[in-house]
Structure 1
Amino acid sequence: MQLPGEGVWGPPADHDTALAVLRKAVEVGVTLIDTADSYGPYVSEELIREALAPQGHPYPDDVVIATKAGLTRQGPGVWTPLGQPAYLRQEVEMSLRRLGLERIDLFQLHRIDPAYPVADQVGELKALQDEGKIRHIGLSEVSVADLKEAEQTAEIVSVQNLYNLANRQSEELLDHCTAHGIGFIPWFPLNTGKLSGDSGPLAEVAANHDASPSQLALAWLLKRSPVVLPIPGTKSVEHVVDNTAAAGIELSDEEYDALEQAGRKAEEEGA
């Protein structure tokens, strides 16, 4: 969940609204809160603790907090990989402090840094897991080959890649995760490109369900595979409620196929 300012840098434009968004998400049934140390940097983690575990109170029992490290920030919109094991250890320790946790449920390597062996980067997270500071390990923006290489060092329970109705560049990875029961967390899940116009399959299916194009984009992802866990970002309470309602939309096979074909066409056309 990205709550900081423009370029994912600095504090949110409205601090109180950011807290309200987080609290509403949990209130309407969201159980996975995904963030990263680089959002802000650090701002998002601090907001999550303030909203959900203020003044030393425990987090709600069913809420899973996932965070990431491996990207450093030099300014708005600037992201530089750093997978030095000592740095990753430091960031895990700092995330524990900022989030007010003794163990992070899901810690993800934000990017694999080509400057360091994968075994060293994942191995440091495995060491932290063995110390009880991380429960599960995940990866972000990887290929099937990257995932298999990382699995030689530690069990990987999830991957987080760009994937949506109009962008299927991680299709092979999603199929692999589906076959092996690995969680697939698509970021930027609401992108529909030109498909969100007033005409076409997306608008037609949305009208059939009295839903928005964004809700249909999420419903399509949820039907795409049982291992998909969308993480739509939002800055408003209203959108949190709308996004969550997408879980109640059941697409028919015909509707799913129509969206599938429209999405592939949009991707080919660069929508």
Structure 2
Amino acid sequence: MKIAAAVVALTHATEDMDMINCWPANENAPHCGCQMIRRDRNMINKKCVLNFDEEAVLGEDNIAMISVASSFTFPDTGSIDDSSLPDNRFVWTGFEGLSHENLHDIVWFFRPDVCPNYEIEQDYPVVNLTFFQNGGGLVFDECQDIDEQWLNDSLPLLGNFNYDIARSHQSYNLPIYGMESGQTALVSIESHHADWDLTENFVSVRNVTAHHGHGVDSDETECDAEFTFTLNDHLGVLEYVNFYLCEDPTVSGAASPGDYFYNVPSSWTSSAQV
């Protein structure tokens, strides 16, 4: 999920100084949002928590997506230790050799109906992007040492999704960390909505594939939100599964619903369970 300003910012994220930069919506890109770069927080073998103030985001479920580069998320399971979309809380960790050390590159987008638009007058409540740009509206405390048992019980974890709804093709490469040889995981793909189980928020995928040596139980032509992934043998620390959204014109043959109109999957609600 990108707009031009975000693409440039993300490209040079490792070069930029610590900062928060926000951008409004416009007629071509309806999602406003912000990027925060911090070098005073280390995610590796830590539990990091970012809390958004409900009043600042105008209630729950108004964050359309959030991406923490190279992170592995603790998805929304209903536990007070995990992420929670209704509470605007996001929880993640990092692993040696796979995640940034002392660098957090965080991008989030708000839903269009709460976004200010610099091209039109708006007489209804919108998020105050200046407030966020000045460091308000969120709490990002020091990342804490992680409880090893809790981490082991949470495995496997899915890596950060790469969002891009500003283009027609919707193909995703999903990282999976923490599986053992011979294990089979049920992977559930969900959208970034607090009520992701509702029909209008349902995400369906197809053409699911995995690297050679692994097994995927999924009908190539069938649209579903679940599939199983079997790790027949370790080929590396990190495993990957690739899939397409059923809405993708590459696999559906139908016309694209249009940029910014895809119901995209989320690493904060999707999960893998063995």
Higher relative CO (Cα under 8 Å, sequence separation at least 6) belongs to: 2
Both proteins in one fold, TM over 0.5: no
Give the TM-score normalised by structure 2.
0.26
Bigger proportion of residues as helix: 1
